[in-house]
Amino acid sequence: MKHRLLGRRALVTGGASGIGAACCRAMAAEGADVVIVDLPDARDVAEELCAEIEATGRTASFVPGDVRHPGTVAAAAEGVDAVVASAGVSHHPDQADLGDLLGLDPDAWRFVLDVNLTGTFLTCVEAARAMRDAGRPGTIVTVASVAARIPRAGVYSVSKAGVEMFTRSLALQVASRGIRVNGVGPGYIETPMLDGVAQVRGSHEWLSVWRERVPLGRLGTPEDVARVVVFLSSDESSYLTGSVLYPDGGYLLQGGSG
| pLDDT averaged per 10 residues in sequence order, the chain, 258 residues | 91 97 98 98 98 98 97 93 96 81 95 98 98 97 96 94 98 98 95 64 64 88 98 98 97 72
Neighbours of 257 (CB within 10 A): 17
Q: Identify the CATH number of the domain in which residue 180 sits.
A: 3.40.50.720
170 part of a folded domain:
yes
**213: exposed, middle or buried (Cβ count in 10 Å: 0-12, 13-18, 19+):** middle
Residue 248 lies in a domain: no
> Domain tally for the chain?
1
Q: Give me the active site residues, please.
A: 156
15 phi, psi to nearest 5 deg = -85, 0
pLDDT at 200: 60
Cβ-count burial 13-32 (b if 16+ within 10 Å, e if not):
bbbbbbbbbbbbbbbbbbbb
The pTM of this model reads 0.94
In a domain, 27, yes or no: yes
Please give the Cα distance from 147 to 88 (Å, whole number).
13
Q: How far apart are CA 17 and CA 24, in angstroms?
A: 9
How far, in Å, CA of 165 to CA of 124, rounded? 13
- Whether 206 is covered by a domain: the verdict is no
Q: CA 103: distance to chain centroid?
A: 28
The pLDDT assigned to 230 comes to: 98
Asked if 81 and 131 count as a contact pair (C-beta separation under 8 A), the reply is yes
Q: Which domain holds residue 32?
A: 9-189+221-239
**pLDDT, position 258:** 45
Quick check: is 68 in a domain?
yes
Residue 140, SS3 per DSSP: strand
Picking from 51, 63, 56, the residue whose alpha carbon sits closest to that of residue 26 is: 56
Task: Return the pLDDT at 226.
Answer: 98
Kindly give the pairing relationship between strand 82-85 and strand 60-64. unpaired
Q: In this predicted structure, what is the pLDDT of residue 152? A: 87
On whether residue 228 sits in a domain, the answer given is: yes
How far out from the chain centre does Cα 183 lie? 8
pLDDT for 112 equals 97
49 found inside a domain: yes
Residue 120 covered by a domain: yes
